[in-house]
Amino acid sequence: MKTTALPKDPGPAAWDAILPPSKHYASLDCAITADWLVIGAGFAGLSAARRLRLLHPKDRVVLLEARRIAEGPVGRNTGFMIDLPHNLTSSDYAGAVEKDRAQAAQNRFAIQFAKEAAADYGFAPDTLVQSGKTNGAATAKGDTHNRDYAHHLSGLNEPHELLDARQMQEMCGTDYYQSGLYTPGTVMLQPALYAREMAKGLALQNIKIFENSAVKALKREGATWKATTSSGTVEAPKVILAVNGHLESFGFFKRRLMHIYLFASMTRALTEAEDKALGGKPVWAITPADPLGSTVRKIRADGGSRIVIRNGFTWSPGRASNPRKPQKFARIHDRTFAARFPQLAEISGPAFEHRWGGLLCLSRNGVSAFGEVDDGLFAAGCQNGLGAARGTLSGILAADLASGETSDHLEVMLAEAAPTLLPPEPLATIGATTAMKWGEFKAGMER
Ligand SMILES: Cc1cc2nc3c(=O)[nH]c(=O)nc-3n(C[C@H](O)[C@H](O)[C@H](O)COP(=O)(O)OP(=O)(O)OC[C@H]3O[C@@H](n4cnc5c(N)ncnc54)[C@H](O)[C@@H]3O)c2cc1C
């Protein structure tokens, strides 16, 4: 089959852009054979490759990535590797108790895998830090969401702490938030550094990584699969498709995946005076009490502190976004920032050094697109916006499934229903666009 769309994420992968130049991996320019082929070097693909190496120390494993390592959505997200259920389509992230318990156990298994990779490969400090996160509430309605969620967490026996407006201000230097809900289990990533460090570790374990090597066709030839890029081919009996929503570009899960671009902006490094005027703690991470509100994060990077703002969705069934779209959201991000940090009035427009978007994938029923989709071909996609943890999980479990391993986590994953079918067009587009716009409108000041 020929792929019908290739990755197109608008704007720079900011987390990668603020790092020093990275090691280049060659692009594929010849015909090779391998025991395993992993396509896509996001959270899922990197994890699948590591898991394959752990299970098959001597096998030949090849990893193909369409873009440079860390330039895809893995280098574009906001870096929350969340342990708790985080249902973007609910009003307060919560779901049914038993399901949420199982999901938290799975997310933690994935987080543990990431931590072990960090220890094994000697990741740079600050790549991955378990600092927890806070759901910030800017409105009475957001506060109610937080309290409902806190109640749900008590039912799950999950540790959490409700913060008042003063504690929120002490943390992030603004009186914008009425309250917060802190949970300790989230690991905060410098996501591009995470991808780079994983790739470096994998390469040292003799996994052959090729970047700028988009797979344009994938077909079965006898006992093997043959992946074709612009200038080379890889043949392998078993392939893991870790391409998230681009599973549909390979002809799988057609009309069952919802493709959405999500947008973010990052300031330049604040001056010392600006940092002082901002106040609060050196780093913090806030998700919105309303799932369609704004994520805001303060990070330390080379050169000083920066603020990252994330909000704004577009429905993109063709998996393509206009390169100018991030600028369209610039106005909204500036407004989000100004409302929270009036003490930094000079930070707007060009003071936001990076504006970008990235593709994510949801299913209507919140499940993954996972499993053996053809003989020897395994899907690890549709992470429902929680790709840092869920992508890691699906990559590990796809490698297990392909290797004949069994585990409780794999059984839970395999027991999930398939992603449900979307309504026919134009109903799907009209319905999704209206739901997103209405959701964002309802999020009000949480946005
Ligand atoms: C602005 C933004 C903020 C976000 N914040 C968070 C967050 O804080 N926490 C969180 O958990 N999630 C977040 N997400 C979502 C998260 O980034 C994704 O869910 C996650 O990246 C999915 O992981 P993955 O490995 O399945 O897919 P991806 O990371 O999308 O990786 C798939 C890879 O496959 C490659 N690929 C696709 N087609 C081909 C092909 N034909 N040939 C070769 N390679 C191919 C792509 O280039 C890509 O690198 C955010 C997303 C965005 C855009």
Tens place of pLDDT per residue across the chain (447 aa) = 899 999 999 999 999 999 999 989 999 999 999 999 999 999 999 999 999 999 999 999 999 999 999 999 999 999 999 999 876 555 556 667 888 899 999 999 999 999 999 999 999 999 999 999 999 999 999 999 999 999 999 999 999 999 999 999 999 999 999 999 999 999 999 999 999 999 999 999 999 999 999 999 999 999 999 999 999 999 999 999 999 999 999 999 999 999 999 999 999 999 999 999 999 999 999 999 988 899 999 999 888 999 999 999 999 999 998 888 898 899 999 999 999 999 999 998 899 999 999 999 999 999 999 999 999 999 999 999 899 999 999 999 999 999 999 999 999 999 999 999 999 888 888 888 888 877 777 777 888
Ligand 1: atom nearest CA of 46 is: 25
Residue 305 half-sphere exposure toward CB, CA atoms < 13 A:
21
What is the reported pTM? 0.96
pLDDT one-digit tens code per residue, 69-100: 999 999 999 999 999 987 655 555 666 788 88
Residue 143 lies in a domain: yes
Note down the domain range covering 261.
14-446
Tens digits of per-residue pLDDT, 302-337? Answer: 889 999 999 999 999 999 988 888 988 999 999 999
**Structure tokens, 380:** 């690890």
- Tell me if 237 is assigned to some domain: yes
* Ligand 1 centroid from CA 378, angstroms: 17
Nearest atom in ligand 1 to 384's CA: 19
Q: Which residue is closest in CA terms to ligand 1's atom 18? A: 387
Residues 6+ apart with CB under 8 A from 319: 5, 7, 8, 245, 246, 248, 249, 259, 359
Pocket of ligand 1 (CB under 6 A): 3, 6-7, 39-45, 64-67, 72-74, 76-80, 214-215, 242-244, 246, 262, 264, 310, 358, 360, 381, 383, 385-389, 391
Residue with CA closest to ligand 1 atom 3: 77
The residue to mutate among 103, 131, 383, having the most atoms of ligand 1 within 8 angstroms of its beta carbon, is 383
User: Torsion angle of alpha carbons 268, 273, 277, 279, nearest 10°?
Assistant: 80
The percentage of residues in the chain with a pLDDT greater than 90, rounded to a whole number, is 85
Widest distance between CA atoms in the chain:
66
- Give a yes or no: residue 302 inside a domain: yes
Residue 165 CA to ligand 1 center (angstroms) comes to 34
Residue among 231, 246, 284, 393 whose CB has most ligand 1 atoms within 8 A, to mutate: 246
In whole angstroms, what separates CA 119 from the centre of its chain?
A: 21
Q: Which atom of ligand 1 is nearest to 390's Cα?
A: 11
Quote the ligand 1 centre to 1 CA distance (angstroms): 22
User: What are the two backbone dihedrals, phi and then psi, of residue 66, each rounded to the nearest 5 degrees?
Assistant: -65, -35
Cα–Cα distance for residue pair 91/103, rounded to 1 Å:
18
208 bridge partner residues? 62
Domain with residue 136: its CATH number is 3.50.50.60
**3-state SS assignment for residue 29:** coil
**How many angstroms is it from 72 CA to the middle of ligand 1?**
6
| 176 Cα–ligand 1 center, Å | 31
* Separation of alpha carbons 340 and 336, rounded Å: 7
Asked, for residue 86, whether it belongs to a domain, the answer is yes
CA of 360 to the centre of ligand 1 (A): 6
Cβ–Cβ < 8 Å for 237, 223? yes
Atom 19, ligand 1: residue with shortest CA distance: 387
The predicted structure's pLDDT at residue 446: 81
Report the pLDDT value the prediction gives residue 92, as an integer from 0 to 100.
Answer: 54
Q: Which atom of ligand 1 is nearest the CA belonging to 261?
A: 53
Nearest to 161 by CA among 146, 183, 145, 139: 183
Determine the distance separating the centroid of ligand 1 and the alpha carbon of 151, expressed in angstroms: 32
5 located within any domain: no
359 CA → ligand 1 middle, Å: 6
Taking CA atoms only, the protein residue closest to ligand 1 atom 30 is 73
CA distances from 426 to 260, 429, 431, 432 (A): 16, 5, 8, 10
Residue of the CA atom closest to atom 22 of ligand 1: 387
Are the CB atoms for 269 and 344 separated by under 8 Å? no
In percent, the amount of the chain with pLDDT more than 70 equals 98
Ligand 1 midpoint to CA 42 (Å): 6
Question: Within a domain: residue 8?
Answer: no
| Cα 166 to ligand 1 centre (Å) | 36
- The answer to whether residue 427 is domain-embedded is yes
Cβ-contact 9, 72 below 8 angstroms: yes
Structural domain tally of the chain?
1
CB 8 within 8 A of CB 261: no
Listed in sequence order, the residues at least 6 apart from 14 whose beta carbon sits closer than 8 Å to its beta carbon are 75, 76, 264, 266, 308, 353, 354, 356
pLDDT of residue 62: 98
Within a domain: 2: no
Q: Determine the Cα–Cα distance for residues 145 and 116; give it in Å rounded to an integer.
A: 34
